[in-house]
């Protein structure tokens, strides 16, 4: 079954106008059928980037002075547009990014939900009021926008991650210059298009599509007042350093090596289902995906059998087709890098505990598919901890398993990582749950559910190497997208 559609023309949104690029040509393809072009056209040049930043800068004062309710009304209208177009956008997202249609449409609705959450921000508290030690005085802590915010987003959630950065940036009165991953330009056009259709004034949101060098030019731009990024730890740290060198606040959400811990008293069927979804949905291309599994040795054989049985029914194929559970990786380089990681892990002593089926890559037009893979790492504690598959984020459909003697050791193994984004623990014993809350060094903990997933009204972000700067979403976003002015307020006539 094919779902081909004509290729979209690449455009850039600068100062309220859709422009053609003046840089080199970009072609984005369907990763399930790389012969099929999804979007095509010239990328933005640095001259266009400069104009985008200038437009954002020129629009900043008027936007900051627009009542929060008016700013919010535009976000609410954009949410309605995404909901109206959810089916078409879901199909386009599946075609461009490679996640299944159900997940893709779910992501579009999630973006709408995020726009709604921040669209209602005007109804919430905009600061704090303190009493003063001096008579006749109150102290107000007032929230103000940063100014012009640079937004750099990854491929794996082409509409939800941009929404959860752009919506709070705009709600708190900032203007934005956005550079999305160049593998997913179509969904960027769609989100910017929805906000434009919703009535965003010229210059408030600017979209420039281009290569990594355009992203570097954006993050080093002297007129930025803030920078928010999601992507790899290496790039995130470089951005943080670039921001620090110029005194610009940076919010960076980076990698994960998230563990699921299955204890002996857990509901093992529920745990097997959730571990499957956490590890293999979106082809493991989520920073919150489960990539490590620690299972109590007493139940490990039974648990792994349950997991294998589910994997036998897990279908890898074109994500636009019905009945498919897992699509391709985003591109050939990503698939090669995951395969190389698996090879390295095996050479270092891992055993192949399961390998599923996937369409071949041999055909020149073959998609960037890999089979779901489970590795069992050596029982020896030092060798297990040292294995590449335990330490490095593969960002693909690979789950690495180790067995633990008891809950205490399981939590120790889970903490054996430089990352600390999310974790999942499976148990029915509340004492163990409380142990997990206290001992796992993560920003997000799921109890009896998979390690991925995020609601827009609560903080999202990780510990250790996984995050830098204030967290995202919910009230946490306010910490990054606004700063405070402390106002010592007295009447003009002290009498
Ligand atoms: C989710 O778990 O649903 O890049 C969201 C990522 C994260 C978002 C995860 N920033 O995968």
Pair (199, 275) in one structural domain: no
* 262 in the same domain as 137: no
**What pLDDT digit, counting tens, does each position of 142-159 carry?**
999 999 999 999 999 999
pLDDT over threshold 50, residue 170: yes
* Ligand 1 near 156 CB (within 6 A): yes
Output the domain CATH number for residue 282.
3.40.309.10
Residue 56 and residue 147 share a domain: yes
d(CA 373, CA 401): 11
* Catalytic-residue membership of 343: no
Q: Which of 99, 85, 75, 92 is nearest to 157 (CA)?
A: 99
Per-residue pLDDT averaged across 388-415, rounded? 97
Is the model's pLDDT at 364 over the cut of 70? Answer: no
Contact in structure between 223 and 148 (CB atoms under 8 Å): yes
> Using an 8 Å Cβ cutoff, are 390 and 416 in contact?
yes
What is the Cβ-side half-sphere exposure of residue 288, based on CA atoms within 13 angstroms? 21
Asked whether residue 200 falls in the same domain as residue 239, the answer is yes
C-alpha 461 – ligand 1 centre gap (Å): 9
**Is residue 444 in contact with ligand 1, taking CB distance under 6 Å?**
no
Half-sphere exposure of 51 (CA within 13 A, CB side): 17
DSSP conformational letter for 326: B
Cβ of 164 closer than 6 Å to ligand 1, yes or no, is no
Residues 285 and 419 in one domain: yes
pTM of the model: 0.96
CB atoms within 10 A of CB 441: 14
Assess whether 70 and 194 both reside in one domain.
yes
Q: What's the distance, CA 367 to chain centroid? A: 23
Give the mean pLDDT of 191-203. 98
- Atom 1 of ligand 1 has which residue's CA nearest to it? 453
**Which residue CA neighbors atom 7 of ligand 1 most closely?**
287
Q: Whose CA is nearest to atom 10 of ligand 1?
A: 287
Catalytic hit among 97, 253, 376, 472: 253
Q: How crowded is residue 484: how many other Cβ atoms within 10 Å of its Cβ?
A: 14
Nearest by Cα to 165 from 485, 467, 476:
476
80 three-state secondary structure: helix
Ligand 1 within 6 A of CB of 114: no
Atom of ligand 1 nearest to the CA of 472: 10
Domain match, 290 and 219 both: no
181 lines ligand 1 (CB under 6 A): no
* 165 in a structural domain: yes
The minimum-distance atom of ligand 1 relative to the CA of 288 is 2
Cβ of 466 closer than 6 Å to ligand 1, yes or no, is no
The answer to whether residues 398 and 326 touch, using CB atoms and an 8 Å cutoff, is no
Longest dimension (CA), the chain: 87
List the residue whose alpha carbon is closest to atom 6 of ligand 1. Answer: 287
Does the CB atom of residue 89 touch ligand 1 within 6 A?
no
Residue 30 has pLDDT above 60, yes or no: yes
Q: How far apart are CA 398 and CA 258, in angstroms?
A: 12
Whole-number Å distance, alpha carbon 301 to ligand 1 midpoint, is 30
Of 265, 260, 258, give the one whose Cα is nearest residue 419. 258
- Token pair, residue 73, equals 């009304």
Whether 459 maps to a domain, the answer reads no
**Residue 452 Cα to ligand 1 middle (Å):** 7
Identify whether residues 327 and 353 lie together within a single domain: yes
Q: Among residues of the chain, what percentage have pLDDT more than 90? A: 93
229, 247, 106: which is closest to 166 by C-alpha? Answer: 229
> Which amino acid residue places its CA nearest to atom 4 of ligand 1?
287
Residues 127, 164, single domain; the answer is yes
Token pair recorded at residue 387: 């294995």
- Could you tell me if the CB of 157 is within 6 A of ligand 1? yes
Tell me which residue of 187, 205, 185, 182 sits closest to 195, measured CA to CA. 205
Ligand 1 pocket mutation, candidates 257, 284, 286, criterion most atoms within 8 A of CB: 286
Same domain, 84 and 224: yes
pLDDT of residue 3: 54
Task: Report the residue among 100, 110, 114, 156 best suited for mutation to probe ligand 1: largest number of ligand atoms under 8 A from its CB.
Answer: 156
Does residue 289 share a domain with residue 210?
no
The atom number, within ligand 1, closest to the CA of 253 reads 10
Asked whether the predicted pLDDT for residue 380 surpasses 70, the reply is yes
Q: From 100, 152, 161, 462, give the residue whose CB has the most ligand 1 atoms within 8 Å, as the site to mutate.
A: 161
How distant, in Å, are the alpha carbons of 94, 316, 373, 374 from that of 351? Answer: 33, 22, 11, 9
Q: Is residue 481 part of a domain?
A: yes
pLDDT score for 361: 78
Q: Ligand 1: does its nearest atom lie under 6 Å from the Cβ of 258?
A: no
Same domain, 472 and 349: no
Bigger pLDDT: 1 vs 304 = 304
CATH code of the domain covering residue 226 = 3.40.605.10
Q: Which residue has better confidence, 360 or 264?
A: 264
**Ligand 1 touching residue 446 (CB < 6 A):** no
pLDDT at 1: 44
Q: Compute the distance from residue 61 Cα to the ligand 1 centre, in Å.
A: 32
Q: Tell me if ipTM is over 0.90.
A: yes
pLDDT for residue 283 is more than 80: yes
Q: What is the mean pLDDT of the chain?
A: 96
Does the beta carbon of 154 lie inside 6 Å of ligand 1?
yes
Digit-coded pLDDT (tens) for 56-95: 999 999 999 999 999 999 999 999 999 999 999 999 999 9
Domain of 332?
258-447
Average pLDDT (29-44) is 97
The answer as to whether 461 is a domain residue is: no
Number of domains composing the chain: 2
Handedness of CA 246, 248, 253, 257 (dihedral sign): positive
Closest approach atom of ligand 1 to CA 451: 2
* Ligand 1 binding pocket includes 110 (Cβ within 6 Å): no
Statement: residue 338 has pLDDT above 60 = yes
Averaged over 199-226, what is the pLDDT?
Answer: 97
* Ligand 1 center–CA 360 separation, angstroms: 28
Whole-number pLDDT of residue 4: 67
**Which two tokens mark 299?**
């139940």
Q: Report the DSSP pairing between strands 373-376 and 467-468.
A: unpaired
Cβ of 286 closer than 6 Å to ligand 1, yes or no, is yes
Residue 426 sits at φ, ψ, to 5 deg, of -115, 115
- Residue from 236, 452, 476, 477 to probe ligand 1 pocket by mutation (most atoms less than 8 Å from CB): 452
CA of 466 to the centre of ligand 1 (A): 12
CA of 156 to the centre of ligand 1 (A): 8
Q: Is the pLDDT of residue 194 over 50?
A: yes
Q: Is residue 495 part of a domain?
A: no
Percent pLDDT > 70 in the chain is 98
Answer whether 288 contacts ligand 1 (Cβ < 6 A): yes
């Amino acid at each position: 079954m094919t779902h081909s559609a004509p290729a979209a023309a690449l455009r850039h949104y600068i100062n309220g106008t859709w422009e053609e690029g003046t840089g080199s040509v970009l072609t984005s393809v369907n990763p399930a059928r790389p012969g099929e072009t999804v979007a095509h056209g010239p990328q933005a040049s640095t001259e266009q980037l400069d104009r985008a930043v200038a437009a954002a800068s020129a629009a900043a004062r008027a936007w900051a002075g627009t009542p929060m309710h008016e700013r919010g009304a535009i976000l609410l209208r954009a949410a309605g547009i995404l909901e109206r177009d959810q089916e078409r956008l879901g199909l386009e997202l599946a075609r461009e990014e490679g996640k299944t249609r159900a997940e893709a449409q779910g992501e579009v609705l999630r973006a709408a939900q995020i726009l709604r959450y921040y669209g209602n921000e005007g109804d919430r508290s905009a600061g704090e009021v303190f009493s003063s030690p001096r008579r006749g005085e109150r102290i107000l802590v007032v929230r103000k926008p940063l100014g012009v915010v640079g937004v750099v987003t990854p491929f794996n959630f082409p509409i939800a991650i941009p929404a959860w950065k752009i919506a709070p940036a705009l709600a708190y009165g900032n203007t934005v210059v956005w550079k999305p991953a160049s593998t997913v330009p179509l969904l960027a056009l769609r989100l910017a298009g929805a906000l434009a259709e919703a009535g965003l004034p010229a210059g408030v949101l600017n979209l420039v599509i281009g290569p990594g060098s355009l992203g570097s030019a954006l993050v080093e731009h002297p007129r930025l007042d803030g920078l928010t990024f999601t992507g790899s730890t290496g790039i995130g740290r470089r951005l943080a350093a670039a921001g620090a060198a110029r005194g610009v606040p940076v919010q960076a959400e980076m990698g994960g090596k998230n563990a699921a811990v299955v204890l002996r008293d857990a509901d093992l069927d529920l745990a097997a289902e959730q571990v499957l979804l956490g590890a293999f949905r979106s082809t493991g291309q989520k920073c919150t995906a489960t990539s490590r599994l620690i299972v109590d040795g007493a139940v490990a054989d039974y648990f792994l059998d349950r997991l294998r049985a589910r994997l036998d029914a897990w279908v890898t194929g074109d994500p636009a087709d019905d009945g498919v559970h897992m699509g391709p990786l985003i591109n050939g380089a990503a698939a090669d890098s995951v395969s190389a990681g698996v090879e390295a892990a095996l050479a270092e002593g891992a055993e192949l505990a399961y390998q599923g089926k996937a369409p071949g890559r041999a055909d020149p037009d073959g998609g960037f598919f890999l089979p779901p893979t489970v590795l069992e790492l050596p029982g020896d504690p030092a060798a297990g901890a040292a294995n590449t598959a335990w330490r490095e984020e593969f960002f693909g459909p690979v789950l690495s398993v180790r067995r633990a003697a008891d809950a205490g050791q399981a939590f120790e193994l889970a903490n054996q990582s430089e990352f600390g984004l999310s974790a999942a623990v499976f148990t029915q014993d509340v004492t163990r749950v409380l142990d997990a809350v206290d001992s796992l060094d993560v920003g997000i903990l799921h109890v009896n559910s998979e390690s991925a997933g995020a609601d827009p009204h609560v903080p999202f972000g990780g510990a250790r190497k996984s995050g830098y700067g204030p967290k995202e979403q919910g009230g946490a976003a306010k910490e990054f997208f606004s700063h405070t002015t402390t106002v010592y307020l007295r009447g003009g006539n002290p009498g």
